Chain A
Amino acid sequence: MSFINRVLNRWREPALAREFDDELRFHFESRVDANLRRGMSRNEAEIEARRHLGSTLRAREGMREARVSGIIDDVAGDLRHGARVFSRKPWLSAMVVATLSLGIGASAAMFSLLNAALFRPLPFPDAGRLVALSDAIRGDERRVANPMIPELLDVRAASTTFEAISFFDTRDSQINGGAEPARVFAARVESALLPMLGVRPALGRLFADADGRSGSQFVAVLSDGLWRRNFGADPAVVGKSLVVNGLPHLIVGVLPQDFSIDYMTAEPVEIYLPYPMIPAYTSWTAEFAFERRVIAIGRMKRDATIERASAELDTISRAVVAAHPNIYRQIPQLKEGREPYVAARDLRASIAEGSSSSALVLLSMAVVLVLLIACTNTAQFLLAQSLERRPEVVVRNALGASRGRLLRQFLLEALLLAGAASVLGLVQAIWLTQGFRSLMPSFTPLIGTIGVDRPVLVFTVGVAVFTTVVCGLVPAWRFSHTTHLGTRGTVAGHERTRHVLIALEVAISMVLLVGAGLLLRSLQELQRTQSGYEADGVTAMRIRGIGGGASAQSGALGAVYQQYLDRIVTLPDIESAAVASLALPSRAGTGFSVAGSGDASTSRRDLGSYQIVSPGYFSVLRIPVKEGRTFAASDISGRPPVAIVNEELARRAWPGQSPIGRQITAGEGPRAATMTVVGVVGNIRTTFQIGDEPQMYASSLQQNEPNVLLLIRPAASTTVPLNAVKSAIWSVEPRQAVFSIRPMEELVAERTILQRAVAALIGGFAILAFVMSITGVYAVVTYLTSRRVKEIALRRAIGARSQDVVSLLAGPAFRWTMAGVLLGVVGAVLGSGLLRATVTGVIPLDTITVVVTGVSYLAVVGCAICVPALVALQIDPATALRSE
């Protein structure tokens, strides 16, 4: 407290001075009184009192010193001094601030990304009590699946630790009434969901329990966006009717603008419908009971913990599993003795996990490395400044400036640079976060709102303090060993400090460069490997079949799609067209089994990808048929179910034998079917796959899939006539919405977006680190050389050869750079392990990448080191010696 008082007293010095005077005057007058009492004349008394009092100047000065801290003025003086020093070298100072600001700006932008993706709480009231519920397998915790509806209902009925448990799913829907049928992204929510998330309707009401039960009226709640876009923010919209998926729905409510459940969905939800709570979904014996498409959320009671909730869920799941053994036995991943259970996880954490959090952490580490290089450069600069000011420092020391005082000065100068760099860095961070936002896949609600907000500002202040300390301490530490005028020894000490800093900078740059090289080679590798298909020129669009649904006859939708396709292929400029449930095979995640050679005991279970496609799929994507045939128009519902497999599946399931005519059982729940293999097609690699995976295809004419992609290949060197395609579709079904029309190549590229984003960012950081380290090394060597101009001249005057001089000047820097490169290789080996663990598809670190990166880096650094030495040789020894 006293210190703060003393600092503040600086602004009340006049009042203090009056008090000092009053106090001294009282002392003087008391003495005079005493003297008068002793019988002196007034004159004598005053003279004696004045003598007795002594120096009032000293007293006042002493009191002032006791009361007023001069730190503010000292600090201001130091700052002014620092600014003067830097303004003497404007270009160099500007460069240092610029590099530091790049480091700080990149860190701040990265932090805003990390904060938004991982830490910022979800915008629901009391969000800490929300948990995600999923099905897990004990002992195989990595695999989680969405829960089943009957299972959730049983859990909800038995649980006491939850205030509410609810669920939802999303689907493409279409609304009619506009110029052309419009597609909307809908969420089907169980009635408890919206109240559980704490939302109140902006207009009308939310769903009641009765909504969604069989026989109830169809109702819908609009999102704020849809209400504004399609209804012109009509305040009287409640009570109006809207045709959704061909059926009239009553609009009962509108949600507020700041509410969405988009954190958990693939696209922004535009319309909310009640979940159909009909036996087909809710009963354990229903055909659709197996569907695992709902996302389940629970809100724990106020006094419950996630541990208590999990313990209770364990008990409940055991009973539920025991009651329905035949259903749980079908889980393909369930090995002997493994037990399925319903798991609860913090909702925020489970959402964060889905947003490639480990890649973000990795990128943050990379950005810290860039920041460290920027700090090193700044420290080098301050060190050079301090060395130049050695006489001044020595004089200050001699005049009694304490070490603390000198340390303060160095720290303040560093603060000056870091402060300027932080302001610039924040500006860059604003640009960078905007850049991130536009780079992100079209829809990422967590990240969509990033920017320079308060946490980012706090973080930047923290980074500025960190850089200040790191950059200021190095020269201060060097100088704490220097109290007398420089001798050769202390200069050598400085050189060593600078060389160690060079080695560090080089090592860090190497790690980033090798990492970037590795990522680049991994991307190349991906492009080089046979993808097994051709997507160029193909246009993809999405449709949602009308008239499908729980009750539709299997294959009914496929027949409708086939009518669309038949019309489309007759259009001019169209080569082929097909529908598919997925544009390309996904990761192997569907269990399948094949019977061994007539013997049930040798039957095999494995995982593969599973797609529903129409006959034309393989020709649209030019996937070669290796054996047998593709689907035919005759493979319709009612005929024996047929399947096509890829070569990899055939190799694994029936090694050395022809798969044609064999039986394969695949699919979960209602789709589970035993099909006859009629054809074998080539393998497809769609992501960073190291090996081929089993792939299966079922016929769209025998399955019911409402959400499909329409893939159209135009005739060579033409584009797909979109309007003609739409008209062709509408000539069959005028209510059909066609949406998300995109080149297939874009869809393909989306699959490697994480890999490409990481590669781009690490690459950017590596380039930054490369430039910073090269300029840093160059500046240091130039500086060290410039200090030895006379020595060089003298050496040359007495006969030193050019190569002697170059090796004298460049040798130590080069040796330390080598050490840095070697250290960097060690770091890169460790870092590449991390990279491979984080980003799928990264190839192992190979010698070639390391050697090529190391050698080319050394070559560039070598130039940066040798150029100043060679420049020094140009100086005429006689001139150099005569100067000064």
Chain B
Amino acid sequence: MRDNKKDQLQGTLDLLVLRTLSTGGTMHGYAITERVQQVSREVLRIEAGSLYPALHRMEESGWVRSEWDVSDNNRRARFYTLTTAGRKRLSEEEEHWTRLAGAVTRVLKQA
């Protein structure tokens, strides 16, 4: 049995990563953290200790695939790309998040 709270947090991380990959195309891990940080106006920071296990887990689940390639700064980097299964997962996670966020907002406004 997985812990529910952990599940939710992990879900959020997955959502951020999947979403970033869906707009940014093929990216390496560092680019993903930079992009999330930038788009969230420095609010969300993803630590490497969370990001890389999540990426590897998602690759094992078939949501992303990876390959080694040369980066802009001429270094060997691992690049991640969203798969079809990942796209489907993303839409599920998005829907789930929207529902959750809506519910929390409603509670905050009315309770």
Contacts and interface: CB of A to CB of B under 8 A. Distances in A.
A26 to B, nearest CB: 5
B101 interface: no
Interface stretch (B18-26, B48-56, B92-100): B48-56
**Chain A interface residue bracket vs B:** 20 to 34
A726 interface: no
Nearest to A34: B34
Contacts of B76: 22, 26
A55 interface: yes
Contacts of B61: 2
A5 interface: yes
Nearest to B56: A66
A56 B29 contact: no
B75 interface: yes
Interface string B49-88: 1111110110111100000000101011110000000000
B85 to A, nearest CB: 11
Interface in A1-49: 2, 5-6, 19-20, 22-24, 26-27, 29-31, 33-34
A19 B73 contact: no
A23 B78 contact: yes
A29 B53 contact: no
A598 interface: no
B1 interface: yes
Interface in B21-47: 28-30, 33-34, 47
A6 B78 CA distance: 19
B3 to A, nearest CB: 10
B73 A62 contact: no
A24 B48 contact: yes
Nearest to A29: B75
A56 B59 CA distance: 20
Which has the most chain B C-beta neighbours within 10 Å: A19, A26, A402? A26
B41 to A, nearest CB: 18
Contacts of A229: none
Interface string A65-107: 1110000000000000000000000000000000000000000
A2 B52 contact: no
A59 B52 contact: yes
Given A65-B53, A66-B60, A27 B48 contact: yes
Contact of A26 (B54, B62, B75): B75
A65 B53 CA distance: 8
B30 A58 contact: no
B57 A56 contact: no
A54 B53 contact: no
B1 A5 contact: no
- Of B52, B54, B61, which is in contact with the most chain A CB atoms at under 10 Å from its CB? B52
Interface of A: 2, 5-6, 19-20, 22-24, 26-27, 29-31, 33-34, 52-56, 58-59, 61-63, 65-67, 402
Per CB-CB distance, the 3 closest pairs between chain A and chain B, nearest first, are A62-B53, A58-B49, A66-B56
Interface of B: 1, 28-30, 33-34, 47-54, 56-57, 59-62, 71, 73, 75-78
5 contacts: A30-B30, A30-B75, A52-B48, A55-B47, A61-B53
Given A19-B78, A27-B33, A59-B52, 5 more contacts: A24-B48, A26-B28, A33-B73, A59-B48, A66-B60
